[in-house]
């Protein structure tokens, strides 16, 4: 009896820890497999972000033709640089504070954060369009700065003319206006100083919008590149 008891105990001592190790290892393996399959699924989702091709581009204020607004500053790629346009209400001062700011075309929000500093609330939207002369699909980013309110979130699909925010003055830093940029280079994000200052990387917004004011409607969505921005103040973008 004693002998059996001892054997059993020693056998248990040998077996139980082994079973325990196997169980915990299996748990680790299944947890790891779950994590890997989630990572694969998320990666596939990220690569499968799709948008409609733009059927035209509108102005971001005074929808659709900037009616009631004027451009107080334009694009200037030589020093002192201004990488976009400033849009103000014709009534002057802060009369345009809180006015709607619209998505210039169908697209997707790639960045929507209050980054503070000289920027304040920023919304960047990404748009796909087919160049009529070449038939090629290209992408642009449109940046809207100093917004009073942000009304969209990163990753949200937007329609042309959909309100994405309101015009602001960055907590009183400027007279209210919309700072608006269009970039051919969709890697710039919030780090403007890394990009070459030429028209291959930057667009003259008014010129671009007028050039692609109306495009053919296409029904098949196209995949959109994501993960093109470097992190800025802890914000990564889509």
x/- string (CB under 5 A) for Zn ion, residues 175-204? ----x-------------------------
| Shortest reach from residue 182's CB to Zn ion, in Å | 13
Is 148 a residue that touches Zn ion (CB under 5 A)? no
Q: Which is nearer to Zn ion, 128 or 209 (CB)?
A: 209
Q: Please select the residue that binds Zn ion; options are 86, 96, 148, 181, rule is CB under 5 A.
A: 86
| Shortest reach from residue 43's CB to Zn ion, in Å | 37
Site for Zn ion in 6-45 (CB under 5 A): none
The stretch near Zn ion (CB under 5 A) out of 3-11, 96-104, 162-170, 174-182 is: 174-182
| Shortest reach from residue 173's CB to Zn ion, in Å | 12
Between the CA of residue 14 and those of 7, 19, 24, 26, 150, what are the distances in Å? 10, 9, 16, 19, 63
Q: Which is nearer to Zn ion, 144 or 226 (CB)?
A: 144
Q: Which is nearer to Zn ion, 86 or 99 (CB)?
A: 86
Phi, psi of 22 (to 5 degrees): -60, -45
Q: Which is nearer to Zn ion, 160 or 183 (CB)?
A: 183
Q: Which is nearer to Zn ion, 89 or 226 (CB)?
A: 89
Measured at CB, which residue is nearest to Zn ion?
Answer: 179
Site for Zn ion in 52-71 (CB under 5 A): none
Peptide bond into 82 cis (omega under 30): no
- Binding region for Zn ion (CB under 5 A): 86, 179
């Amino acid at each position: 009896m004693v002998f059996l008891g001892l054997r059993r105990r020693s056998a248990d001592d040998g077996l139980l820890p082994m079973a325990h190790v196997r169980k915990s290892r299996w748990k680790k393996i299944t947890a790891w497999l779950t994590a890997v399959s989630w990572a694969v699924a998320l990666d596939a989702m990220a690569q499968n972000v799709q948008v409609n091709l733009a059927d035209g581009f509108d102005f971001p204020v005074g929808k659709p033709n900037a009616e009631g607004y004027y451009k107080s500053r334009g694009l200037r790629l030589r020093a002192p640089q201004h990488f976009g346009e400033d849009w103000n209400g014709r009534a002057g001062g802060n009369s345009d504070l809180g006015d709607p700011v619209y998505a210039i075309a169908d697209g997707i929000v790639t960045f929507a954060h209050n980054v503070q500093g000289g920027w304040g609330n920023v919304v960047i939207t990404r748009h796909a369009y087919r160049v009529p002369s070449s038939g090629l699909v290209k992408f642009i980013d449109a940046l809207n700065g100093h917004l009073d309110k942000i009304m969209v979130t990163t990753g949200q699909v937007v329609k042309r003319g959909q309100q994405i925010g309101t015009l602001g003055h960055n907590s009183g830093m400027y007279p209210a206006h919309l700072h608006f940029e269009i970039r051919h280079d969709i890697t710039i994000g919030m780090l403007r100083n890394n990009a070459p200052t030429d028209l291959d990387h930057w667009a003259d917004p008014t010129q671009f919008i007028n050039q692609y004011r109306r495009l053919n409607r296409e029904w098949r969505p196209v995949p959109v590149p994501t993960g093109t921005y470097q992190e800025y103040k802890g914000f990564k973008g889509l």
